[in-house]
Amino acid sequence: MDDVLRRQWEHLRAWLEEEDVLGRADLATGLGDWTVGDLVAHLGLGLRLVQGIAEAPDGTVPITLREYVAAYPPAAAAIAGQTEEIQAELGDDLLAGLDAIAAAAFAHLATIRSPVVLGRRGPISRDDYVLTRLLELVVHGDDLARALDVPRHPGDPEAVVTVATVLAVGYGEVTGGPPPGAARPLDWIRLAGGRIPSEDPNLPLF
């Protein structure tokens, strides 16, 4: 799973530069009052948090990925504040700052060998934690693509399918059944993340 995360980051990072995303940093994203520049900085927060995980003691029982990401909405204000701090810290050289954060994140991840880790939202399996980072990169990469209205998508195909599958499992954890319909992976990700309105009371998942 580490390799899928790295490929998604490399795919997204190249796309940020090739599409001159920061040249349109002031555009709205449709996510509250966040701009494109804010969302790019938020990518850095998602990767920096990797440096904070630690190996859990033997016998630690992990929560599920769905339970982990369900803690995001109540922490929205804190997450916004941390994103502002990263944005101020990195200043005008945002992409170079993201590169440094990503390098440190992957270096730290390589040192973590235990099957369960201690993350900010609680204990979670190492693989599921990596999936939370993958989810962040895929979902927010899609947010950027929609905000900029560009045809080329920043999602690595394997990463997109992986995230869609994981979110389908999370939906089944809540409902006991599969997601309704046969939506394309990106459409399902948007539904699960509340980017597309739904009358399903079990959505969004995060």
pLDDT of the residue at 191: 92
Judged against a pLDDT cut of 80, whether residue 44 lies above it is answered with: yes
Q: Would you place residue 57 in the very low, low, confident or very high pLDDT band (cuts 50, 70, 90)?
A: very high
Q: Residue 98 above 90 pLDDT?
A: yes
Question: Does the pTM exceed 0.85?
Answer: yes
CA angle 6, 12, 14 (to 5 degrees): 100
Q: Is residue 57 part of a domain?
A: yes
The answer for 181, left when phi > 0, alpha when psi is -120 to 50, beta otherwise, is left
Give the mean model confidence (pLDDT) for residues 53-64.
96
Would residue 68 count as lying in a domain?
A: yes
Structural domain boundaries, residue 23? 2-192
Does residue 118 fall inside a structural domain? yes
Half-sphere exposure of 141 (CA within 13 A, CB side): 30
For residue 110, pLDDT over 90 is answered with yes
What pLDDT sits at residue 182? 59
Number of structural domains found in the chain: 1
Task: Kindly calculate the radius of gyration of the chain based on its CA atoms and give it in whole angstroms.
Answer: 16
Q: Is residue 200 part of a domain?
A: no
Say how many residues make up the chain. 206
pLDDT of residue 151: 87
Per-residue pLDDT reduced to its tens digit, 116-172: 999 988 999 999 999 999 999 999 999 999 999 998 999 999 999 999 999 999 999
Is residue 99 assigned to a domain? yes
Q: In the chain, what percentage of residues exceed pLDDT 90?
A: 76
pLDDT in tens, 187-202: 999 999 999 898 999 9
Angle between helices 76-90 and 94-109 (to 10 degrees): 120
User: Does residue 101 fall inside a structural domain?
Assistant: yes
pLDDT class for 73, splitting at 50, 70, 90? confident
Residues 159 and 9: their CA atoms lie apart, in Å, by 10
> Quick check: is 203 in a domain?
no
| CATH code of the domain covering residue 44 | 1.20.120
Q: What are phi and psi of 161, to 5 degrees?
A: -65, -40
Domain assignment of residue 197, yes or no: no
pLDDT at res. 188: 92
